[in-house]
Amino acid sequence: MTKPSVLFICSRNAGKSQMAAALMDYVSAGQVISYSAGTNPGAAINHEAVASLAEAGADMSLGEPKAIDASIAASVDRVIILGTDANPHFEPQVKTERWVTYEPSEDGITGSQRMNMIRDEIADRVRGLFHELEK
């Protein structure tokens, strides 16, 4: 039996999609193969996201922003696009969905509190996706 797989995409691949992939690795304990990529990769990983994930027991510290690999997108069971900034185009057979997450900074919430709120929302969605994929 092959493991289910998922590709998480955001614009910069420095925060949200990296968090989602690391959370899937953590939640699934290796039962799901996870990838992350960006439509416009940044230069470095978001250090606030790294710290927030570490508090939750997950690790994305070795992540590096990278572009979408079309062969990975075509081969995974699901492509999850985080936020509204990334708008990749795939063949119709690629199963995609979009997770629009709450942005705490719009309400003046910044720093570690902001990142923890984003982490918690993504973690809830990742847990739901894991349970769906493991069926």
pLDDT score at 37: 98
Q: Note the Cα 111 to chain centre separation in Å.
A: 19
Domain boundaries, the chain: 5-133
**Rounded to whole angstroms, how far apart are CA atoms 65 and 44?**
6
pLDDT score at 1: 66
pLDDT by residue (tens digit) across 61-120?
A: 999 999 999 999 999 999 999 999 999 999 888 999 999 999 999 999 999 999 999 999
pLDDT score at 17: 98
CB atoms within 10 A of CB 27: 18
**Rounded to whole angstroms, how far apart are CA atoms 103 and 1?**
38
CB atoms within 10 A of CB 95: 12
**Two tokens, residue 36:** 């992350």
**Rounded to whole angstroms, how far apart are CA atoms 59 and 57?**
7
Report the CATH fold assignment for 5-133. Answer: Rossmann fold (3.40.50)
**Rounded to whole angstroms, how far apart are CA atoms 129 and 82?**
13
pLDDT by residue (tens digit) across 21-49?
A: 999 999 999 999 999 999 999 999 999 99
Considering the entire predicted model, what is its pTM? Answer: 0.96
